Amino acid sequence: MHIGLLDILRCPFCGGHLELVTSLFHRADDAHISDGVIACECCTFPVVDGIPVMHLNAASSAARAQIEAGNTEAARLTMVGVSSADRQTAFMELAANADATYTQIVDALGPDLEGGYFLYRFSDPTFVVAESVVNAVAGTVLGGRGRALDVCGGSGHITRVLAKHAESTVLADLFYAKLWLARRFMVPAVAAVCCDGNVPFPFARGAFDLAMCTDAFMYLWEKRAFVGEMTRAVAGRPRGTVLINHAHNQLVWSPSHGQPLTPAGYRNLFEATPARMFGEAALFSDVVGGVSIDLGRAQSDTDLAGDQALTLIASPVDAVYGPHALATPTSSGGDWRISPLYELTNDGDQVRGTLRFPDEDYEYDYGTCRAYLPNDVTVAHADLDALNQGTMAPAIADLVRRHVIVELPKRYS
């Protein structure tokens, strides 16, 4: 972690500033803390492989003791959370191998970490809607300036989109392994903080211009406290905005339901700045339409009753609430490839792709991607090569916009 993070980091329990305990084992230079212990008036927390762990569960306490003993490798294994000796060995070997891929390390960490479908995430319907909303909201609120927070951001798939619009970005999640993967593959320049979204966030009041949570809110029990913390994170900032993407609707069953609220229930959580709410079905239609996404539409709780998922925005920036031209995806420094949802065959100087879902469950959950992913595509190798050199040929611009061609982090699979 960059030591500048200490300026906005606060203890979740006493609210105090944190400092590196220089009398204990640490690996740090003038600008970064790699491993060590940071302390406030009430607690000590470990920094493990550049990630501060701002909670006090059993793994955190064990990792702190291991850091104090100078055993950084053991602390990393503790926080990554692999218990079997075989998986520990596999993880350590891959972690030490600069060529190891995200997919290999996820496999080594076990099947539960990312679920089965992370490979396809950059073209799945939930992602493409969230991406367009983030481009619209963060593009308007931040416009390349300010600090953004992505809470429950996992291994950073959507953080990559957010980070393009901010001067600096913090990714927070309870699962250390996801944060470790995010820093290695997805968003290396983003600060990662391991913390629990059910208790006060470990950040100073008003540290952020935009606080976001995507596809996780319905799994949090302390929803009232969470919205309070999101609001506190942007309090006093003239453009301070809270954005919650893909919150399931209690009124409509979905395969990974969580503990969602009704539209009225979500609205009720926003006490200071009222939230505007959008049904994801309408936003999805906007994205498929390919022109603009309309955050100016007014949808009542009755209108939203049939929507499986909702987007909530609380912003003092009036320009957020209007139509936003859809942006063609841009590079974050990764590799442009045909979506892994396509089975590819080489045909001379072209490659042909046929849409193939990994299984019936994927098709059930995400089959609406057929609205923008054609069944068959043909792409010239030269056009794909040129795209990876920074030039988008007109022939493939539409395929990029439709997420047939996606930009994957380097060494993703």
Site map 12..31 versus Zn ion, x via CB under 5 A: -xx-x---------------
* The two three-digit tokens of residue 294, written as one number: 């309309």
For 8, list phi and psi in degrees, rounded to 5.
-110, -5
Nearer to Zn ion among residue 16 and residue 333 (C-beta): 16
Query: Position 48: which residue type?
Result: V
CB 205 within 8 Å of CB 236: yes
Task: Indicate which single residue of 1, 43, 108, 193 sits in contact with Zn ion (rule: CB under 5 A).
Answer: 43
Task: Indicate which single residue of 9, 11, 293, 351 sits in contact with Zn ion (rule: CB under 5 A).
Answer: 11
Least Å distance, CB 27 to Zn ion, is 23
Nearer to Zn ion among residue 56 and residue 100 (C-beta): 56
Residue matched to tokens 């059910």: 198
Q: Does 161 bind Zn ion (CB under 5 A)?
A: no
| Total of residues contacting Zn ion (CB under 5 A) | 7
Query: Position 64: which residue type?
Result: R
Part of the chain binding Zn ion (CB under 5 A), chosen from 21-29, 34-42, 96-104, 398-406 = 34-42
Q: Which residues, listed in sequence order, are joined to residue 214 by a DSSP beta bridge?
A: 245
Nearer to Zn ion among residue 42 and residue 395 (C-beta): 42
CB 277 within 8 Å of CB 267: yes
Residues 6+ apart with CB under 8 A from 243: 133, 134, 137, 138, 210, 211, 212, 213, 311, 312, 313, 315
Nearer to Zn ion among residue 13 and residue 25 (C-beta): 13
Least Å distance, CB 207 to Zn ion, is 17
Least Å distance, CB 202 to Zn ion, is 9
* The two three-digit tokens of residue 85, written as one number: 């000796």
What is the distance between the alpha carbons of residues 304 and 307, in angstroms, rounded to a whole number?
5
Part of the chain binding Zn ion (CB under 5 A), chosen from 5-13, 109-117, 368-376, 393-401 = 5-13
Least Å distance, CB 21 to Zn ion, is 13
What is the distance between the alpha carbons of residues 192 and 173, in angstroms, rounded to a whole number?
8
Part of the chain binding Zn ion (CB under 5 A), chosen from 35-43, 48-56, 222-230, 341-349 = 35-43
Task: Indicate which single residue of 1, 33, 38, 40 sits in contact with Zn ion (rule: CB under 5 A).
Answer: 40
* The two three-digit tokens of residue 254, written as one number: 């979905």
Task: Provide the binding-site residues for Zn ion, judged by CB under 5 A.
Answer: 11, 13-14, 16, 40, 42-43
